[in-house]
A = this chain, B = another copy of it.
């Protein structure tokens, strides 16, 4: 950590902050020039929030040298993490994992019809929302527990793994019973209470990036889960909020490359939520493959016009089949396997 004082900072102000740090066993290394006092703070600064140190008068700027996350960092673990999903597939490294299914679970027929077609094209994991985070209290809120049970039943029927989004910590036991991956939604990325509780779960966690979260904040949220004892975190980029309104969000495709430099954790791309327009899913999926993502999460619905949520971004079955054909042809070109 590098701390720079204001030009008009006094010697007394300098001493105050230096003493504060020395009392906490940090070493100080001066690097001042003629005009400005600058010094390095040597030691494990991960528990210090730079923001707090600005309370010291005379402080002008504080810069972190080490990353604030440890378990999630590439420096901590050099090789790519590979996460086993209930004996059915893996996520990470050369594997290109396909997750697909309806936005919301609406009925047994809807889910079975969808799953049958997905399985036929080699999809590994079935997704389906049971507890839906909706911006309006008047919109369909999901089938809740009945939905989870259906998801388990149909996943088993087609030998697929199951993933669904958890709304709060008190449902962890239930989710552990019915799904193979617990998803944390974008709006809960910094629900630290939930993250801490999930750090005690034995299930892999898929952590979606928050609507306007930086990559560092995203990895810090992963760190919450890992620091508590759960190393199996899958990151999912689902678009960030920008001024562009033609797409629902803006897919930050470079985030895959950034995460690969900073961390050993796998990144899945969700083009459905990113674009919010089914017309773009195919091309964005190929871009995700090209850039090196570890897989895709795609919304598929047998009849999107009647979908109770997210119809605009759901692929119909024939379109999904086309996408899978493209993916199958191209995975070897990019060093990935769909197996």
Residues in A lying within 8 Å of B, measured CB to CB: 2, 4, 7, 16-17, 20, 29-31, 33-36, 38-40, 42-43, 46-49, 51-56, 61, 63, 65-66, 68, 75, 131, 133-139, 167-170, 187-188, 190-194, 196, 211-217, 220, 223-224, 227-228, 240-248, 250-258, 261-262, 274-280, 283-284, 286-292, 304-305, 307-314, 329-330, 333-334
Contact = CB atoms under 8 A, between A and B. Distances in A.
Most buried by B among A34, A211, A292: A211
B292 A290 contact: no
A233 B124 CA distance: 44
Contacts of A211: 212
A334 B168 CA distance: 43
Given A136-B46, A243-B243, A312-B52, A167 B192 contact: yes
Contacts of A51: 248, 276, 310-313
Contacts of A63: 2, 61, 63
A245 B252 CA distance: 12
A227 B274 CA distance: 30
11 contacts: A16-B305, A52-B310, A54-B277, A54-B311, A133-B190, A168-B194, A187-B191, A214-B243, A246-B262, A250-B250, A287-B291
A240 B307 CA distance: 33
Nearest to A73: B7
B253 A4 contact: no
A311 B59 CA distance: 12
Given A16-B305, A212-B243, 19 more contacts: A17-B305, A20-B305, A33-B42, A51-B248, A51-B312, A52-B312, A55-B311, A61-B63, A137-B228, A168-B194, A242-B242, A253-B287, A257-B279, A257-B280, A257-B284, A283-B291, A284-B291, A286-B334, A287-B287
A279 B261 contact: yes
Contacts of A287: 253, 287-288, 290-291
B286 A49 contact: no
A220 B136 CA distance: 6
Most buried by B among A138, A212, A307, A334: A138
Given A243-B214, A253-B251, A287-B253, A223 B31 contact: no
Q: Which 5 A-B residue pairs are closest in the complex by CB-CB distance?
A: A55-B311, A54-B312, A31-B40, A212-B212, A55-B304
A223 B136 CA distance: 8
Contact of A38 (B65, B261, B305): B65
Given A52-B307, A240-B242, A290-B287, A66 B36 contact: yes
Contact of A40 (B33, B214, B242, B256): B33
A244 B255 contact: yes
A50 B191 CA distance: 27
Contact of A216 (B36, B216, B246): B246
B46 A138 contact: yes
A275 B304 CA distance: 36
B135 A190 contact: yes
Nearest to A40: B31
Given A42-B33, A280-B254, A311 B52 contact: yes
A41 B68 CA distance: 24
